[in-house]
């Protein structure tokens, strides 16, 4: 991990030259929570910013076992074979929720990981924002600066992670299983509304069941408002294991992105996403500072106990704690 400022410049140059080692180090720096690293990470991002924005940003979410890693590996190899450079950022919110990791435990995407035109990076789940690692968006920008023209952000459907990933990508893909109930889950949780493309994987197992599930999903989608530029999410069937339907899928992703770009909505969306990310960082930063504040720390246990006992209203407790923060801030 470099410390002097000159190393930040060298690292930025390495990233912009497309060096994967430099990129990996850069992301480690960006993700570091140490105060001095944070400042360097900011400087690094500032140096990289002019080189960002050039990738197709694709988010993908699905339940554990839906076939995400199989699918991304096959897609990634197809794309690198066609001359693309593909970065995959795997976000695993489950590791912070359950203490175990769904994405990290097994060796994933071995073949793609060996491909020199690919870069795979699991994001640590510490410091989560809506279930997404707090620096995933910045890591995505670093990948773009390194010349990766396809960036895939993968997440397990836990907590708010889909909303967060959909909020930082151009095209959000929902990977479904043709099992009874999987589509209902997605519809109930409001995830279908986020999808630009819905994919049913493992259609090789029971093609008839897949057809039924896809039909139901198509019906459910007709009830939703069309997206940007009148986009209606297509519903596709694939078999990642048999490498079937993957190129047709990619054509839809490109068509979705092109539709947004042609109507000017892509630029609007990205501007809005950058502002939303700023607010998400402000919210989480304020919460962090609030909890770390000595006055708050001193008063919190009592206030919290009184709220639980019913002797203090949540409103009064919240005001008291927030006022503590304010008093201290004014004096400082
Ligand atoms: P993830 O947890 O979503 O990343 O899922 P994996 O990619 O690890 O896949 C879970 C299991 O499903 C593995 O045993 C895969 O081999 C299998 N699998 C993935 N895609 C397909 C497919 O299209 N057809 C069949 N039959 N099995 C698949």
Q: What is the pLDDT at residue 49?
A: 94
> Measured in angstroms, how far is the CA atom of residue 308 from the centroid of ligand 1?
46
Residues 288 and 226 in one domain: no
Answer yes or no: is pLDDT of 56 > 90: yes
pLDDT at 10 over 60: yes
- Clarify whether residues 157 and 95 are in a common domain: yes
User: Among the three residues 274, 300, 320, which one is the final residue of a domain in this structure?
Assistant: 274
Gap from CA of 70 to ligand 1 centroid (Å): 6
| Residue 49 main-chain phi, psi, to 5 deg | -50, -45
pLDDT of residue 115: 96
Neighbours of 97 (CB within 10 A): 16
Determine the residue of 62, 63, 67, 209 to mutate for testing ligand 1's pocket, defined as the one with the most ligand atoms within 8 A of the Cβ atom: 67
Give the confidence band of 122 by pLDDT, cuts at 50, 70, 90.
Answer: confident
Q: How far apart are CA 212 and CA 219, in angstroms?
A: 11
148 and 261 housed in the same domain? yes
Tell me: do 110 and 64 sit in the same domain. yes
The closest residue, in CA terms, to atom 6 on ligand 1 is 67
> Which residue has the least CA distance to atom 18 on ligand 1?
67
- Sign of the torsion formed by the C-alpha atoms of 210, 212, 214 and 216: negative
In this structure, are 208 and 184 located in the same domain?
yes
Provide the pLDDT for residue 108: 78
**CB count in 10 Å sphere of residue 68:** 27
pLDDT for position 15: 97
Is residue 105 pLDDT above 90, yes or no?
no
Domain count, the chain: 3
Segment 154-183 shows an average pLDDT of 85
How far, in Å, is the centroid of ligand 1 from the Cα of 239? 9
Asked whether the predicted pLDDT for residue 332 surpasses 50, the reply is: no
3-state DSSP helix/strand/coil % of the chain, to nearest 5: 55, 15, 30
When mean pLDDT is compared across 30-44, 55-69, 125-139, 275-289, the lowest value belongs to: 125-139
Q: Are residues 130 and 223 in the same domain?
A: yes
Range of the domain at 302: 276-331
Centre of ligand 1 from the C-alpha of residue 66, in Å: 6
Residues 107 and 194 in one domain: yes
Same domain, 313 and 177: no
Counting from 1 in the atom list of ligand 1, the atom nearest the Cα of 70 is 7
**Ligand 1: which residues within 6 Å by Cβ?**
62, 64-70, 201-202, 204-205, 239-241
Report which protein residue has its CA nearest ligand 1's atom 10: 65
Instruction: Tell the residue number behind the tokens 């690692």, with chain if given.
Output: 133
CA dist., res. 17 & res. 154, Å (int): 25
What CATH number is associated with residue 11?
1.20.5.170
CA of 67 to the centre of ligand 1 (A): 4
Length, in residues, of the chain: 332
- Judged by DSSP in three states, 197 sits in strand
Q: Are residues 47 and 193 in the same domain?
A: no
Distance between CA 127 and CA 289 in Å, rounded? 13
Nearest to 95 by CA among 117, 124, 70, 67: 124
**Of all residues in the chain, what percent carry a pLDDT higher than 90?**
64
Higher pLDDT, residue 132 or 31: 31
Q: Which atom of ligand 1 is nearest to the CA of 64?
A: 2
Closest ligand 1 atom to Cα of 201: 23
pLDDT of residue 284: 81
Q: Which of 51-65, 154-168, 205-219 has the lowest mean pLDDT?
A: 154-168
Q: How many angstroms is it from 148 CA to the middle of ligand 1?
A: 26
Average pLDDT over residues 237-263: 96
Tell me, yes or no, whether 162 and 235 share the same domain.
Answer: yes
To test the pocket of ligand 1, the residue of 61, 64, 66, 70 to mutate (highest count of ligand atoms within 8 Å of its CB) is 70
Across 5-14, 87-96, 155-164, least confident range: 87-96
Distance CA 63, CA 69 (A): 11
pLDDT tens column, 191-221: 888 999 999 999 999 999 999 999 999 998 8
Q: Are residues 70 and 215 in the same domain?
A: yes
CATH number, position 97: 3.40.50.300
Do 1 and 77 lie in one domain? The reply is no
- The pLDDT score that the predictor gives to residue 127 is 52
List the single range of 108-112, 186-190, 239-243 with lowest mean pLDDT.
186-190
**Distance, CA 73 to ligand 1 centroid (Å)?**
11
Q: Which of 240, 243, 246 is the best mutation target for the ligand 1 pocket, counting ligand atoms within 8 Å of the beta carbon and taking the most?
A: 240
- Residue 152's nearest CA partner among 136, 134, 130, 128 is 136
Structure-token pair, residue 143: 């990948």
Q: What is the mean pLDDT of residues 85-111?
A: 69
Closest listed residue to residue 173, CA positions, set 54, 86, 278, 75: 75
Give, in degrees to the nearest 5, the angle at Cα 78 between 74 and 80: 115
Average pLDDT for residues 133-159, to the nearest whole number?
A: 89
How high does pLDDT run on average in the chain? Answer: 87
How many whole angstroms from 192 Cα to the centroid of ligand 1? 21
Query: What mean pLDDT is predicted for residues 275-292?
Result: 88
Task: Work out whether the CA dihedral 91, 97, 102, 108 comes out positive or negative.
Answer: positive
> For residue 13, what pLDDT band results from cuts at 50, 70 and 90?
very high
Residue 1 above 60 pLDDT?
no
The domain that contains 294 carries what CATH number? 1.10.287.130
Per-residue pLDDT, 195: 93
């Amino acid at each position: 991990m470099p410390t002097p400022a000159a190393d930040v410049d060298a690292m930025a140059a390495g990233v912009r030259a497309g060096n994967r080692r430099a990129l990996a180090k850069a992301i480690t720096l960006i993700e570091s929570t140490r105060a001095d690293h944070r400042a360097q990470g900011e400087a690094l991002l500032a140096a990289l910013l002019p080189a960002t924005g050039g990738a197709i940003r694709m988010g993908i979410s699905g339940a554990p076992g839906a076939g995400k890693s199989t699918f991304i590996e096959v897609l990634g190899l197809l794309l690198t074979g066609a001359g693309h450079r593909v970065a995959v950022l795997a976000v695993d919110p489950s590791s912070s929720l359950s203490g175990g990791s769904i994405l990290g435990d097994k060796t994933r995407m071995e073949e793609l990981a060996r491909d020199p035109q690919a870069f795979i990076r699991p994001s640590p789940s510490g410091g989560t924002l809506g279930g997404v690692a707090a620096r995933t968006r910045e890591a995505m920008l670093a990948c773009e600066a390194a010349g990766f023209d396809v960036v895939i952000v993968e997440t397990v459907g836990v907590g708010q992670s889909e909303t967060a990933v959909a909020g930082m990508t151009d095209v959000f893909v929902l990977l479904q299983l043709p099992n009874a109930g999987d589509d209902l889950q997605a519809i109930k949780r409001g995830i279908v509304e986020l999808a630009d493309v819905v994919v049913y994987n493992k259609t090789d197992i029971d093609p008839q069941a897949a057809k039924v599930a896809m039909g139901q999903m198509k019906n459910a989608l007709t009830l939703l408002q069309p997206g940007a530029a009148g986009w209606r999410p297509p519903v596709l069937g694939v078999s990642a294991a048999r490498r079937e339907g993957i190129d047709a899928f990619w054509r839809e992703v490109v068509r979705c992105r092109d539709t947004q770009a042609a109507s000017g909505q892509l630029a609007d969306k990205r501007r809005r996403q950058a502002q939303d990310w700023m607010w998400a960082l402000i919210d989480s930063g304020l919460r962090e500072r609030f909890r770390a504040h000595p006055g708050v720390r001193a008063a919190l246990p009592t206030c919290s106990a009184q709220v639980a006992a019913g002797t203090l209203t949540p409103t009064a407790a919240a005001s008291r704690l927030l006022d503590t923060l304010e008093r201290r801030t004014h004096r400082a």
